[in-house]
Amino acid sequence: MHPLSGIKKSLEEKPYIISIVICIAIFIWMLTGPSQAEQSNIADAKKTTLPKVKVERLTAETVFKTLSLYGRSEPDKIANVSSYEVGQVEAIFVNEGEFVTKGTVVAQLEQGDLSERIESVKALIKQREFEYQGAKKLQQQGLQDQVALAKTETALAQAKAELAGLALSLERTTLSAPFAGVINRRLVEVGDYVGRGDAVFELADLDPLIIRADVTQAEVKNLTINQQVTADVFEQSSTQGLIRYIASVADSNTNTFRIEAAFSNPNMTQKAGFSAQLNINAQAVEAIKLSPAFMALDGEGNIGVKSIDSQNKVIFNRINIVKSSVDGIWMTGLGSQADIITLGQGFVRIGDEVEPVYSNEQE
C-alpha cells in the first residue's frame, strides 16, 4: 500500500488528529509574534492615540519674595499737655480735632498776684544791689569784714532767684503745644481748677504715621533699617514708607520681634487706629507666574504643577509660592523655564507620554 494512502486512511479513521495538528500550528504561529509590518502598524496606531494636552512654555523672572505682616496704624507720638502750676483754667483756645503747630498757646491759667509779686521782687533786688555795693566799698576801706560783704551778696542772689522763679511761674500759666499735632482730647473746661501735673489736653502727632507689626525669628534677619515697605491701610490707597525700628530683643511670650514703619502723613489727614497690612520685599528669587487653576496634587498630597519633559512625558513639579497677585501666583520649583500643561492635566498621569499642543506656537 502507498504510504500516503495509509496516512489518508488513518486520518479518515481518526479525524481528531487533523484538529490537533491545526491547533499546534496556530500555537506555534502565535509564539513567533507579529511580523515587522504588523509591529509597525501597531506602533503607528499607538502613536496616533497619544492624548493631546495644551502646553505653554513659561520663563522665570526675578521677583521679590513678599513678606506680609498685619498691624495697625498709630501716632508717631502721643502726650498729655499738663499744667506746671496750680490754678484755675481761665481760657481755652483750641478745640478737639484741631491741628496745632509747636508752641501754639492752647490754654491760659489765672495769673493771680504773680505780676505784683514780680514787681515787688524787682524793687527788692534794687535794694539788695545798693546794700551789696555799699558793703563792698566799706570792705575795700577796711571798715567792714568779708563776712558782712558775703551776706549782702547772698541776699542779692536770693532776690534774683526769687524773681526768676516768679517769672517762670508766670510763663507757665500759659500752656503751649510741645510739638505739632492734633488735639485728640480736651480734658478740662474753663473754670476747672488744676494742680501741678494735671493733664489738660491729649496731643497726638500723626506725621509720620506709624504702623507696628511683629515678625518671626526667621523673617527678622531679612529686614534692615530704612528698608522700603508698602502699607495697605483699611479702605485707603497703598502708601510707601520705610522701616525705622527693629527690636533687638524678642518678645518672651511670642518669640517675635516688634518693627515700626513710618509713612509720611502731610497735614495729618490720615487717622490712626486702622487695621493695616505691611508688604515688604524681603528677598529676590527667580519665579514663574501661573494661574492657580493649573496647580494640582500628587499622590502624597504635595501641591505642584504638571509639565512635560524633553520626551513629552508628564512630570510633576513641587512648587513653593513666593507671592500672589491679581492675575496669578509667583512660584519657584519649575526652574528657569518649563513647559506647563495648561489644559488636559486632569486626564493624564505622571509618566504618561502625551502629544503637546503649544498655545504660544513654541516647539
Averaged pLDDT in 10-residue chunks for the chain of 363 residues: 56 62 67 57 60 89 84 91 90 91 92 84 85 79 76 86 85 90 92 91 92 90 90 81 94 92 86 88 84 85 88 90 82 88 86 84 51
- Asked if residue 235 lies in contact with residue 258, where contact means CB atoms within 8 angstroms, the answer is no
pLDDT score, position 37: 53
pLDDT score, position 89: 92
Judged by DSSP in three states, 242 sits in strand
The two beta strands, 355-358 and 52-59, are: parallel
- Asked if residue 105 lies in contact with residue 316, where contact means CB atoms within 8 angstroms, the answer is no
CA distances from 245 to 222, 262, 351 (A): 14, 9, 52
- Asked if residue 34 lies in contact with residue 338, where contact means CB atoms within 8 angstroms, the answer is no
% helix, strand, coil for the chain, step of 5 = 30, 40, 30
Q: What are phi and psi of 291, to 5 degrees?
A: -70, 140
- Asked if residue 330 lies in contact with residue 322, where contact means CB atoms within 8 angstroms, the answer is yes
* Torsion sign across C-alpha atoms 237, 238, 240, 241: positive
Q: H-helix or E-strand containing 144? A: none
pLDDT score, position 205: 92
Judged by DSSP in three states, 166 sits in helix
- The Cβ-side half-sphere exposure at 145, using a 13 Å CA radius, reads 1
Q: What are phi and psi of 123, to 5 degrees?
A: -65, -40
- Asked if residue 135 lies in contact with residue 152, where contact means CB atoms within 8 angstroms, the answer is yes
Exposed, middle or buried by CB within 10 Å (0-12, 13-18, 19+), for 32? exposed
pLDDT score, position 12: 60
- Asked if residue 178 lies in contact with residue 102, where contact means CB atoms within 8 angstroms, the answer is yes
- Asked if residue 75 lies in contact with residue 209, where contact means CB atoms within 8 angstroms, the answer is yes
